Chain A
Amino acid sequence: GAVVSQHPSWVICKSGTSVKIECRSLDFQATTMFWYRQFPKQSLMLMATSNEGSKATYEQGVEKDKFLINHASLTLSTLTVTSAHPEDSSFYICSARGSGGLTYEQYFGPGTRLTVT
């Protein structure tokens, strides 16, 4: 149980274009999904918290107009990197927290490696 998928697993795009990444909880309903960014050999940096049916909460320093997050259902959240630039190249990972008031566990997707040329 607690399987999270992410699509695509890797993507290469040209500078100035937009890329959408999907995060799905396959066997549970995710009240909250989180989006992280991870640079090589570094830790996970929280970008934003996404609750179903409401606007995402972005961490300080993360541009909400550049990283658009939509959490349209209890099993799907999307991250769109708009007008991508080479410095946006990174490993993006989502995680999902199950429904239930005392559920703290976060389960991670496999990540999406974005390369902007």
Chain B
Amino acid sequence: GENVEQHPSTLSVQEGDSAVIKCTYSDSASNYFPWYKQELGKRPQLIIDIRSNVGEKKDQRIAVTLNKTAKHFSLHITETQPEDSAVYFCAASLGAGSYQLTFGKGTKLSVIP
């Protein structure tokens, strides 16, 4: 099955700096890679996603890059703000044609004012 590794597990940055979270996956047939933000006690919220036919996608301060050859994808947050503090999860679809997701273990991001 799919295995998703996520690093780092915790990340502290100064407000205004950039944050990068990296994930690797094992199944070369995976073709959908979402990122979720989860605040304490709340639901995971989809913040950005990317399909395997695209190398990069950007939405304001958030961007995701995908390297299919190396089987890794990354979340980039620029100009971080205190409200970006949360746990971020990457995920990968379970092979081609599957809608199931395998999640990484999460990264706790702290943005220091």
Contact = CB atoms under 8 A, between A and B. Distances in A.
Interface of A: 4, 32, 34, 42-44, 46, 49, 93, 97, 104-111
A111 B99 CA distance: 20
Contacts, number: 45
B49 A93 contact: no
Given A105-B46, A105-B49, A108-B43, A44 B93 contact: no
A101 to B, nearest CB: 10
Interface of B: 32, 34, 36, 42-46, 49, 51, 89, 93, 99-106
Given A43-B89, A43-B106, A107 B101 contact: no
19 contacts: A32-B99, A43-B89, A43-B103, A43-B104, A43-B106, A44-B44, A46-B100, A46-B101, A49-B100, A104-B34, A104-B51, A104-B93, A106-B99, A106-B101, A108-B36, A108-B43, A108-B44, A110-B43, A111-B42
Contact of A104 (B32, B36, B43, B45): B32
A49 B34 CA distance: 18
A83 B102 CA distance: 28
Contacts of A4: 43
Count chain A CB atoms within 10 A of each CB in B34, B43, B93, B105 and give the residue with the most.
B43
A78 B49 CA distance: 28
Contacts of B46: 105-107
Contacts of A107: 46
A46 B42 CA distance: 17
B43 A111 contact: yes
Contacts of A111: 42-43
Contacts of B102: 46
B44 A110 contact: no
A111 B41 CA distance: 8
A104 B32 CA distance: 7
Contacts of B49: 104-105
B2 to A, nearest CB: 11
B99 A104 contact: yes
Q: Which 4 A-B pairs have the closest CB atoms?
A: A104-B32, A108-B43, A110-B43, A44-B103
